[in-house]
């Protein structure tokens, strides 16, 4: 069975432990006193802390554990880097937030975000999406044309064509817009990388 010897009162706020509260109290040791005196909250205290005084959990966290979850000063980089890439030919842009002097304000960052959003919209309107949409539309229309030609050929009672050269002659003779499309379709399957048996 564990016994809780630290029952308060807190040297800062005077809070004491009652039977129904689960408040924890901690005694100030030599090491914790030195750390508490270096904390940012120490200058606000009206009481001079001494070894043996007790602190409630709230004030212990503020005075002694204030630097938890921070990197050690040996490994601290003092900047947080957020790297973003924009477009093909634009160099890497870095946004740096200084942890010590807050060189960039929130308003400046919001302004940068809005500018980058506008740049993204312009690039989407002008560039890559148009090319892929045009290619997709071209491919879809050519496939529709070829399907119509083959459907008409079948409806006339003709047998399926097994020879690739005859197939190309048929689709190009019936629809001149399909000239060269079969070659494009064939090259898109990357035939040079295929096994000779499956070409």
CA dist 178 and 173 (Å) reads: 9
Quote the pLDDT of residue 72. Answer: 61
Output 109 or 168, whichever has higher pLDDT.
Answer: 168
CA dist 111 and 94 (Å) reads: 15
Indicate the pTM of the whole model: 0.35
Confidence of residue 96 (pLDDT cuts 50, 70, 90): low
Nearest to 25 by CA among 35, 15, 36, 34: 15
Tell whether the model's pLDDT for residue 97 goes beyond 70.
Answer: no
Q: Is the peptide bond before 187 cis (omega within 30 degrees of 0)?
A: no
Confidence of residue 127 (pLDDT cuts 50, 70, 90): low
Contact 142, 178 (CB under 8 A): yes
CA dist 97 and 75 (Å) reads: 17
Quote the pLDDT of residue 44. Answer: 77
Mean pLDDT of the chain: 75
Sign of CA dihedral 81, 104, 39, 14: negative
Calculate the alpha carbon distances from 102 to 54, 79, 84, 105, 124 in Å: 36, 10, 20, 7, 33
Quote the pLDDT of residue 198. Answer: 67
Mean pLDDT calculated for residue range 106-110: 78
CA dist 139 and 181 (Å) reads: 9
Name, of 11-20, 92-101, 113-122, 174-183, the range with top average pLDDT.
174-183
Q: What is the DSSP string of 48-91?
A: ---TT-EEEHHHHHHHTSTTTTPPPTTT--SEEEEEE--TTTSP
Contact 55, 25 (CB under 8 A): yes
Confidence of residue 74 (pLDDT cuts 50, 70, 90): very low
Report the Cα 23 to chain-centroid distance in Å. 40
Share of the chain above pLDDT 90, in %: 4
Mean pLDDT calculated for residue range 68-86: 53
Quote the pLDDT of residue 85. Answer: 47
Output 79 or 180, whichever has higher pLDDT.
Answer: 180
């Amino acid at each position: 069975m564990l016994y809780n010897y630290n029952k308060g009162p807190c040297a800062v706020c005077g809070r004491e432990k009652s039977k129904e509260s689960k408040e924890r109290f901690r005694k100030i040791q030599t090491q914790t006193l030195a750390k508490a005196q270096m904390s940012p909250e120490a200058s606000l205290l009206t009481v001079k802390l001494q070894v043996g005084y007790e602190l409630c959990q709230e004030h212990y966290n503020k005075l002694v554990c204030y630097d938890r979850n921070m990197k050690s000063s040996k490994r601290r980089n003092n900047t947080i880097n957020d790297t973003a890439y924009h477009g093909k030919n634009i160099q890497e842009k870095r946004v740096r937030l200084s942890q010590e002097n807050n060189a960039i304000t929130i308003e400046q960052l919001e302004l940068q975000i809005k500018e980058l959003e506008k740049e993204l919209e312009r690039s989407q309107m002008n560039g890559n999406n148009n090319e892929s949409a045009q290619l997709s539309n071209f491919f879809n229309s050519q496939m529709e044309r070829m399907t119509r030609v083959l459907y008409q050929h079948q409806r006339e009672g003709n047998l399926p064509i097994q020879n690739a050269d005859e197939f190309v002659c048929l689709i190009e003779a019936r629809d001149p817009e399909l000239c060269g499309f079969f070659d494009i379709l064939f090259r898109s399957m990357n035939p040079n990388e295929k096994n000779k048996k499956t070409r």
